[in-house]
A and B are shown apart, each in its own frame.
Chain A
């Protein structure tokens, strides 16, 4: 358990800059998820922290100690790899005790710790099997056991769930999170899956092209996205972005004039918006699919949507259709008498204050600092 600090940490291969310079901190006991699309540099960053990739600029500090150029074997960090990277010629027990044996720990102490880990991870009876004789889920747990016995400063996870099937993945998510609490560990978890990020993280760091887009709690990223990238990356189906201009007409806020879409808002939001937005600037209005309400046909300021596809998920229904602003996704509110069908025409309006305004050019959220 440790406190990690990244100070302008950057990575370049010759002239190609992959990570221009990232600053953030991870507090002791925190579970931080690094998330981003492929090629965003999240795995590279994790490997830089582990010492498996060279850091070309900036500093990495663990508990105030500069480890930027320390050999990985001396960092005392443990990592769960995507492929698990279990030593194929060693038994489960030997895999888990390897690091301790390399360190020359007392054999009875090694034995005790391995036994604890075996119980904790429900691997009883498998101690003398080799990795080739285990299922995917068991291998994953052995890989975690290998980290747990070491009691390292930091746990690093490099997409450890991507080789599991959906059901096991959901289960393992909870197990990892529980293990983290129980060991009072500090963990960094890399994934491209925003559901994993949302469900597991204390805080999420969202990366794109090696740059930190936003760091904060899952609620922060979901409810107060800093830019269009964060807004569309977090949440499925993704947030609708409607391009146009917003203006005040007769005390109400409208997108694309008084024949366009009415955006209901509170007085606080109105004054905030008046400060943040220059009149006449091109914007994108972002509305999540669940933040629409159905209104009767002919309601002024509503949006007409022709339904193309209906996705029935059991606990919720999404419709995807065409509006004058472009394609749009809407979650059908609960309690609707009859589920819509393809080619139906619906009238929808955003819920008061549950929408965002982004600068069309920079993509920045005008209502979030």
Chain B
């Protein structure tokens, strides 16, 4: 029997497509701009001659360092994500299965919640002062440390949910099988929480990759990341719309790849423990 198309079904579809349009519209606009000449963009021509000049300029031109900026983004995002995952998974195992004193858990999760709630810009000022005094301003170290602080809270909550889902008896069985807690982590918790790590890793990577506030304040010319570089296309006398659009498109690719790869893990991660 064929399902009837009900009025509410049509309404639901309309809302979904409307929402998709709100997100996709600007993206399509940027995509089309990246293949137009500056003059066509300024004239507002919808159908304009196709050109790759914007991509050629940001990739090949002597003045552009965009590929280097992408590399910076990759270094900062990948390393900070790895650090976040290591800390979050170990901390989640400790909190969820080693039964530390209540106040330890309380302080850890309280700290995570506060950092997650406050906007990044609140901290950036003090980080700037701290890293400058420590002589670390403009280094990868500064950017990575700041990204770790930024990404850790969510990864921590996600990983605790995941590790809680690993039955207590498994840990007990491994203990009786002669494992120390370190071995339990290596042979049991680590392989069983890979899904959670993929979810937390994808989210952490995307947030670090697309970060603007931290990189704007803590990077210098050599360590400038892609989002900051894109902003520099808006110059004093002119805005290089075409190159800006092309750079945006290029910088979107890794994030998109991660979403495609991490999506099912993210959904599973967010639902961990929700249903039996």
- Chain B associates with chain A: yes
Which A residues form the contact surface with B (CB < 8 A)? 47, 50-52, 71-75, 77-79, 81-83, 85, 87-89, 98-99, 102-103, 146, 150
List, in ascending order, chain B residues with CB within 8 A of A50's CB. 172, 176
List, in ascending order, chain B residues with CB within 8 A of A71's CB. 175
Besides A87-B187, A88-B192, 13 more A-B contacts (Cβ < 8 Å) are: A51-B175, A51-B176, A52-B175, A71-B175, A72-B172, A73-B175, A81-B172, A87-B174, A87-B188, A89-B191, A98-B174, A99-B176, A103-B178
* Interface membership of B57, Cβ < 8 A: no
Give B143 Cβ to nearest chain A Cβ, in Å. Answer: 36
Residue of B167, B170, B178 most packed against chain A (CB within 10 A): B178
| A47, A52, A83, A102: the one within 8 Å of B177 (CB) | A102
Residue of B172, B180, B192 most packed against chain A (CB within 10 A): B172
Verify B178–A81 contact, CB threshold 8 A.
Answer: no
The CA-CA distance from A98 to B187 in the complex, in Å, is 10
Give B184 Cβ to nearest chain A Cβ, in Å. Answer: 9
List, in ascending order, chain A residues with CB within 8 A of B167's CB. 83, 85
Residue of B nearest to A156 (CB): B176
**Given A87-B188, A89-B191, A89-B192; A99-B178 close (CB under 8 Å):** yes
The CA-CA distance from A196 to B177 in the complex, in Å, is 27
Verify A81–B169 contact, CB threshold 8 A.
Answer: yes
* Interface membership of B46, Cβ < 8 A: no
List, in ascending order, chain B residues with CB within 8 A of A98's CB. 174, 177, 187
List, in ascending order, chain B residues with CB within 8 A of A88's CB. 170, 192
Residues 132-183 of B at the A interface (beta carbon under 8 Å): 167, 169-170, 172-180, 183
Give A66 Cβ to nearest chain B Cβ, in Å. Answer: 19
List, in ascending order, chain B residues with CB within 8 A of A73's CB. 175-180
List, in ascending order, chain A residues with CB within 8 A of B170's CB. 85, 87-88
Residue of A nearest to B172 (CB): A52
Give A369 Cβ to nearest chain B Cβ, in Å. Answer: 39
The CA-CA distance from A47 to B169 in the complex, in Å, is 11
Verify A81–B175 contact, CB threshold 8 A.
Answer: no
Verify A102–B178 contact, CB threshold 8 A.
Answer: yes
The CA-CA distance from A88 to B193 in the complex, in Å, is 12
The CA-CA distance from A88 to B187 in the complex, in Å, is 11
Going nearest first, the 6 A-B pairs with the smallest beta carbon separation are: A99-B177, A85-B169, A85-B173, A102-B178, A72-B175, A81-B169
The CA-CA distance from A130 to B191 in the complex, in Å, is 14
| B173, B188, B192: the one within 8 Å of A79 (CB) | B173
Residue of A nearest to B166 (CB): A88
**Given A83-B167, A102-B183; A78-B176 close (CB under 8 Å):** yes
List, in ascending order, chain A residues with CB within 8 A of B175's CB. 51-52, 71-73
Verify A102–B179 contact, CB threshold 8 A.
Answer: yes
List, in ascending order, chain A residues with CB within 8 A of B178's CB. 73-74, 99, 102-103
Give A148 Cβ to nearest chain B Cβ, in Å. Answer: 13
Give A230 Cβ to nearest chain B Cβ, in Å. Answer: 31
Residue of B176, B178, B192 most packed against chain A (CB within 10 A): B176
The CA-CA distance from A103 to B174 in the complex, in Å, is 12
The CA-CA distance from A77 to B178 in the complex, in Å, is 9
B175-205 CB mask vs A (1 if < 8 Å, else 0) is 1111110010001100110000000000000
Residues 114-147 of B at the A interface (beta carbon under 8 Å): none
The CA-CA distance from A23 to B178 in the complex, in Å, is 27
Give A162 Cβ to nearest chain B Cβ, in Å. Answer: 14
Verify B191–A72 contact, CB threshold 8 A.
Answer: no
Residue of A nearest to B171 (CB): A85
Q: List 7 A-B contacts (CB under 8 A).
A: A50-B172, A51-B175, A81-B169, A85-B167, A85-B170, A85-B172, A98-B187
List, in ascending order, chain A residues with CB within 8 A of B179's CB. 73, 102
| B169, B176, B191: the one within 8 Å of A83 (CB) | B169
**Given A73-B180, A102-B178, A102-B183; A81-B192 close (CB under 8 Å):** no
List, in ascending order, chain B residues with CB within 8 A of A82's CB. 169
The CA-CA distance from A250 to B187 in the complex, in Å, is 77
List, in ascending order, chain A residues with CB within 8 A of B172's CB. 47, 50, 52, 72, 79, 81, 85
Give A187 Cβ to nearest chain B Cβ, in Å. Answer: 15
The CA-CA distance from A263 to B192 in the complex, in Å, is 65
The CA-CA distance from A262 to B173 in the complex, in Å, is 56
The CA-CA distance from A262 to B191 in the complex, in Å, is 70
Residue of B174, B191, B192 most packed against chain A (CB within 10 A): B174
Residue of A nearest to B181 (CB): A73
Give A248 Cβ to nearest chain B Cβ, in Å. Answer: 58
Give B168 Cβ to nearest chain A Cβ, in Å. Answer: 9
Residue of A nearest to B184 (CB): A73
The CA-CA distance from A85 to B168 in the complex, in Å, is 9
The CA-CA distance from A71 to B170 in the complex, in Å, is 17
Give A142 Cβ to nearest chain B Cβ, in Å. Answer: 12
Give B164 Cβ to nearest chain A Cβ, in Å. Answer: 15
The CA-CA distance from A47 to B183 in the complex, in Å, is 21
Verify A77–B176 contact, CB threshold 8 A.
Answer: yes
Verify B176–A79 contact, CB threshold 8 A.
Answer: yes
The CA-CA distance from A99 to B179 in the complex, in Å, is 8
Residue of B nearest to A50 (CB): B176
The CA-CA distance from A237 to B18 in the complex, in Å, is 68
The CA-CA distance from A82 to B169 in the complex, in Å, is 9
B204-219 CB mask vs A (1 if < 8 Å, else 0) is 0000000000000000
The CA-CA distance from A88 to B192 in the complex, in Å, is 8
List, in ascending order, chain B residues with CB within 8 A of A87's CB. 170, 173-174, 187-188
List, in ascending order, chain A residues with CB within 8 A of B169's CB. 81-83, 85
Residue of A nearest to B175 (CB): A72
Residue of A nearest to B183 (CB): A102
